[in-house]
Amino acid sequence: MSYEHIQVELKDGLGTITLNRPPVNILNIAMMEEINSTLKEWQGMKDLKVVLFRARGKCFSAGVDVGEHMGGLAPKMIETFHNIFRYMDKLGIPTAASVYGSCLGGGCELAIFCDVVIASESAKLGQPEIQVGVFPPIAAQVMPRIIGRKAASDLVLSGRIIGAEEALQMGLVNRVVKEEDLEKETREFLRPYLKLSAEVLRLTKKAITVGLMDDLEPSLQAIEDIYLKELMETHDAHEGLNAFLEKRKPTWKNE
């Protein structure tokens, strides 16, 4: 199937989704729906071993479309965005991200949700949502599980952006490579996975998840309720989002 905002390839057990919405791959609802359509189509494919997210353009992704974060669109945006992770979770196979340049907000959430991340030296990762009056639900769910509560709290509560080397030290990424070698190093990193049994990969990933006793749905549902029913009812959430769109500093009322 041909899409407007992504490119899709399925070959030799590797399913590749390439973000292709130049210049900085802002994730809007239409793009998310294309990703969901692909992940939904891939459900139950017995010979699919790995799903890889990569990108074209200036960077991996600068995040979710702020304009679709507001008002009546917020519930649809959250549902559509979070369905990406639900479909990834249901696939039950290893997922990977190959990132470079800005990997921020929803783009960072997409990357770090993956089981493995290969980053170029230019990669900048972060969850700056709090600086515009909201928080990143997926990062709130998965980041403490990846790098621990204290490191995750630092990143999510401050909104600071870190470089690839710091992300590597924290455990947010698996490998940092030279910019010009990213595509080649990603292929090399994933090559061992593609030599294995798809079914054994599924069961092994299932065992890792069970070992963590980490069921995505209950915690994600609780986080969504906080986001939509509490956060989006505050003055400051709307002020922060509007300030971002209007390119001004927000005036917080702490309410």
Active-site positions read: 109, 129
Q: Is the Cα torsion angle 189, 160, 145, 254 positive or negative in sign?
A: negative
- What interhelical angle do 216-225 and 137-147 show, nearest 10? 130
Give the pair of three-digit tokens for residue 219. 């915690």
Residue closest to 55 by CA, chosen among 186, 194, 190, 189 = 186
Residue closest to 111 by CA, chosen among 171, 172, 170 = 172
How many angstroms separate the CA atoms of 25 and 23, rounded? 6
How many CA atoms lie less than 13 Å away from 134 in the CB half-sphere?
A: 28
Quickly list H helices, the chain.
29-41, 74-91, 106-113, 137-147, 149-158, 164-170, 182-194, 198-212, 216-225, 235-245
How many angstroms separate the CA atoms of 69 and 245, rounded? 11
